[in-house]
Amino acid sequence: MQMDNIKPLRSRKNNLSDYKELNNLFVEKQFFEFIESELLPSISISSEKFWIELNQIIEKFSPCNTSLLAQRDVLQRKIDAWYASKKDNQFDMDSYINFLKEIGYIAPEAEPFKIKTQNIDDEVSKIAAPQLVVPVSNARFAINACNARWGSLYDAVYGSDLIPNKDGKVSEQGYDLERGALVIKYSYDFLDKAIPLQQASHNNVENYFLESSSDELNFNARLKNGKIVSLKYRDKFIGFAEFDDATSYLFKNNDLHIEITVNPYHAVGRTAPGNVSDINIESAVSIILDCEDSVAAVDSEDKINVYQNCLELMKGSLSSTFIKAGKNFTRTLNEDRSYTSKKNESFFLKNRALMFIRNVGSHMKTDIVMDNQKESVYEGLLDAIVTVGCSIAGMNSSAKFVNSRYNSIYIVKPKLHGPEECAFFNSLLDDIESMFNLPNYTIKVGLMDEERRTSCNLKECIYELKDRIVFLNTGFLDRTGDEIHTNMKLGPVNYKERIKEDVWYESYEKNNVKVGIECGFIGKAQIGKGMWAKPDEYKEMMSMKYNQLKSGASCAWIPSPTAATLHAIHYHDYAVRDYQERLKENNDEGFVRNILAPSVTSKSKLKTEMIQEELDANIQSILGYVVHWINSGTGCSKVADINNAYLMEDRATLRISSQHVANWLLHDICSKNDVIQSLNKMAVYVDRQNEKNSEYMKLTSKKNMSIPMQAAHELIFKGVDSPNGYTEEILHKYRKLLKKNS
């Protein structure tokens, strides 16, 4: 297979018979029907007003969007030229910073300020907890994520590698009794830390009971030796619920709830100390419904599915039916949990996570709507309008559940480059609020700190969103991709595993927390950290991810409900607010300087044998992800790496791998022939890794290069010229080609 044999793809001409002309727009008929028959009946805006306002927003903001994207390219060309001019001279950091200020890459520093956002839900402002990210295109996964507000600790520990596998005694129900006993021990040790008894362990309880004292109930335990003890901290008990055979006791620790269910007739409760049949803990308090990096939405069919799921989730009506073990199951959103307080008053707790919706980046376009020149419109404009509309539908009295107690709308905006782009998005939301007759600043914004120009201007970016920002999160993967691309012309990048050792990375992570605290995020907005990418390595997660809390992060991303429940243990063990208060005293002003230290190495430090290993690992990662993205439209994959360890992969990981190989090609660390040989070798390897998947379509072919292989070639060989190293345009092109040919 040779790259030269690939014929360039021609862009598909849109068939105008598939479109409806409206107010100088050409609207794909399926999308028009979704808006007319599903979205608009759920919100208080007329069809005429919606389409007029949509057109006005597109006409008003498209030129500025185009200009801002052009500015990214201009800045990159200037940086490339500066690097070229300094090749024979020693790199001087002071000169570099002055240069970045001169060209406007570094903005003038903002005066000290505090964010002014109001009407923020406790799940964002007050409660520190895990945050689950889910592709909203998958209804079943999205429902599971919403319902991951609570999780069974027994189930999470039993199904994880926290307990080593042994040949235990299995019951008739397929339950490993020895493993179960270890799970119970692990779970009771958690109770001893989170809701300790007075001078006793939950492991030694015979039974739990309530006792009246003055005007309220107290929670007590009778130990196996007959002694009666109460909680060490009595105020942690807040209520109970009674069922036919069971009683649940409710507690609160570090603003998170814990529920102990006692049932002596249950298979597990029968033998557990205190007859505890399960321990449920509050887990993913907030989630991100992702329309971006974990989603493959390339046409109206895909995009309408995304919007339909957003709409039905916000209305509380989404369901998913699937077959498991030969039986049909239907998933729906959980009803609220009902309890009686210790003062004998009824109350409810939310049983679903607070939902953010992550829009696409400003650089993406879609042809489900075209302008009066029959050109695709910016998908980010469309996303903002439609996802806000979906959120409004969840505020109506007809909605089954309420997402926000304040009727606030939560949008995450990724891949903004610097303060000007943040100001642009803020202005866009102003107009969308006007379009839907919403009060000012109803729409709250989560800002992703995942592009270099945002990292070194973070305070200035937050300032532009100060009236609506509720969330600040590092995105190390995309941030690394942008780091490689920005410094592409300066020199070769280090091995991927060593990039975290570069000076910029630690300062970037610390600066994110420092600036958030300085700008008044404590008690008002989330400061988040990145994803745990090893979905089966929970033991390792538990030994490492607590450091994100100690760094001052009030939430951190996890890939599954099980991971959410286990990571929630960390938020019981560590009071994040205490760490944040201590970090107020951190006055290190050198972070931005370190953030701008280029992440490059020298050719002499890269060893020949390790170069080949790194090249193969990168290309295996590219192919392993791209083959599923192109062939099956899977935007977020659990992909086996070159060592057959499973990792969660999305477009951010692809951005790193493709940019890494492109960088090494540019600087002659490897040759074009080396890359092609590795592509051919790794294609066979990836095909073998997927051979048990009956629906898998192979990368390898004797006659023609497969479409995913064509995409992988273009991602690598055109990576230097790909704007900011983004992969979306290439992925979309080849996915559309496959769908057209299918």
| CATH code: domain of residue 635 | 1.20.1220.12
Whether the CB-CB separation of 216 and 230 falls below 8 Å is answered with no
pLDDT at 527: 98
Answer yes or no: is 180 within a domain: yes
Number of domains in the chain: 2
Q: How far apart are CA 260 and CA 210, in angstroms?
A: 13
Q: How far apart are CA 521 and CA 389, in angstroms?
A: 27
Beta bridge partners of 530: none
Q: How far apart are CA 218 and CA 220, in angstroms?
A: 6
pLDDT of 7 above 90: no
pLDDT of 5 above 50: no
Answer yes or no: is 176 within a domain: yes
Answer yes or no: is 75 within a domain: no
**Assign residue 95 a region: left if phi > 0, alpha if psi is -120 to 50, beta otherwise?**
alpha
Between strands 443-449 and 469-474, the pairing is parallel
* SS3 label, residue 60: helix
Domain end residue (candidates: 222, 249, 282)? 282
What's the rounded mean pLDDT across residues 125-138? 97
pLDDT, tens digit (0-9, with 9 covering 90-100), for 185-224: 999 999 999 999 999 999 999 999 999 987 899 999 999 9
Q: Which of 367, 478, 482, 650 is catalytic?
A: 650
Q: How far apart are CA 578 and CA 550, in angstroms?
A: 9
Q: How far apart are CA 590 and CA 472, in angstroms?
A: 20
Q: Tell me which of 470 and 694 has the higher pLDDT.
A: 470
pLDDT bin (cut points 50, 70, 90) of residue 701 is confident
Answer yes or no: is 554 within a domain: no
**Assign residue 325 a region: left if phi > 0, alpha if psi is -120 to 50, beta otherwise?**
left
What's the rounded mean pLDDT across residues 133-141? 97
Closest CA to 254 of 150, 133, 126, 352: 126
**CA pseudo-torsion sign 418, 424, 429, 430:** positive
What's the rounded mean pLDDT across residues 724-731? 97
- Helices 707-717 and 728-741 cross at an angle (nearest 10°) of 160
Q: How far apart are CA 475 and CA 308, in angstroms?
A: 27
pLDDT at 89: 66
pLDDT at 12: 42
pLDDT, tens digit (0-9, with 9 covering 90-100), for 490-538: 999 999 999 999 999 999 999 999 999 999 999 999 999 999 999 999 9
> In the annotation, is 650 catalytic?
yes
Whether the CB-CB separation of 498 and 737 falls below 8 Å is answered with no
**Assign residue 329 a region: left if phi > 0, alpha if psi is -120 to 50, beta otherwise?**
beta
Give every CB contact of residue 586 below 8 A, 6+ residues apart in sequence: 510, 514
pTM of the model: 0.95
Domain end residue (candidates: 232, 257, 282)? 282
Answer yes or no: is 714 within a domain: yes
Element (H, E) at 257: strand 256-262
Q: How far apart are CA 681 and CA 690, in angstroms?
A: 15
Whether the CB-CB separation of 419 and 460 falls below 8 Å is answered with yes
Residue type, 211: E
pLDDT at 642: 96
Share of the chain above pLDDT 70, in %: 96
Structure-block tokens of residue 448 = 């992703």
pLDDT, tens digit (0-9, with 9 covering 90-100), for 650-670: 999 999 999 999 999 999 999
Other CB atoms within a 10 A radius of the CB of residue 192 amount to: 15
Whether the CB-CB separation of 387 and 291 falls below 8 Å is answered with yes
Q: How far apart are CA 587 and CA 583, in angstroms?
A: 9
Domain end residue (candidates: 264, 282, 300)? 282
pLDDT bin (cut points 50, 70, 90) of residue 88 is low
Beta bridge partners of 529: 556
- Hunting for tokens 């919706």 — which residue is that? 357
User: SS3 sequence, 682-729?
Assistant: HHHHHHHHCCCCCCCCCCCCCCCCCHHHHHHHHHHHCCCCCHHHCCHH
Beta bridge partners of 369: 27
* SS3 label, residue 58: helix
* Exposed e or buried b per residue across 711-724, where buried means at least 16 C-beta atoms within 10 angstroms of its C-beta: bbbbbbbebbebeb
* SS3 label, residue 498: helix
What's the rounded mean pLDDT across residues 571-586? 93
pLDDT at 704: 80
Q: How far apart are CA 553 and CA 546, in angstroms?
A: 10
* End-to-end C-alpha distance for the chain, whole angstroms: 23
The DSSP output letter for 38 is I
Closest CA to 449 of 359, 509, 522: 509
Q: How far apart are CA 75 and CA 320, in angstroms?
A: 46
pLDDT at 9: 35
If 0-12 CB within 10 Å is exposed, 13-18 middle and 19+ buried, where does residue 76 land? Answer: middle
Answer yes or no: is 584 within a domain: no
Give every CB contact of residue 638 below 8 A, 6+ residues apart in sequence: 535, 646, 647, 648, 649
Answer yes or no: is 192 within a domain: yes
Q: Tell me which of 119 and 328 has the higher pLDDT.
A: 119
pLDDT at 10: 35
Indicate the average pLDDT of the chain: 94
For position 275, which CATH number holds? Answer: 2.170.170.11
pLDDT at 16: 83
pLDDT, tens digit (0-9, with 9 covering 90-100), for 151-192: 999 999 999 999 988 766 666 567 888 999 999 999 999 999
Domain containing 248: what range?
A: 152-282
Q: How far apart are CA 593 and CA 207, in angstroms?
A: 59
Closest CA to 738 of 641, 634, 648, 645: 634
